[in-house]
Amino acid sequence: METYQNSQLDALGDPTRRAIVQLLLRGPASVGRLAEEFPVSRPAISQHLRVLKQAELVTDRAAGTRRVYQLNPQGFESLRAYFDQFWGLALTAFQQKVEEQ
């Protein structure tokens, strides 16, 4: 599981990929539609989407001759569980500090 989460975190480490994820929050989009939002080529956006797909953060489907991408809720649930452990630790530390007073 750790390797899976590392690939997801690595995928989100790139600002262009984070921006793509932000755009996909609005709903599914084709490579061409996503590329309109960036000063890079369609092939570059496709490369970023490939990384996000390998990390299971997005899924794609055929729509005629286009590929349409959307967020993969299961991939983000895994990330949420990962970050929740830190939130739990922070709350426990806060509670201990309060109880020391």
The CATH T-level fold of domain 2-100 is Arc Repressor Mutant, subunit A (1.10.10)
Given this model, what pLDDT does residue 88 score?
A: 77
Where in the chain are the domains? Answer: 2-100
pLDDT digits (tens, 9 = 90+) for 8-66: 989 999 999 999 999 999 999 999 999 999 999 999 999 999 999 999 999 999 999 99
Q: What is the DSSP string of 52-70?
A: HHHTTSEEEEEETTEEEEE
Task: Please list the residues that pair with 29 across neighbouring strands.
Answer: 69
CA atoms within 13 A on the CB side of 66: 11
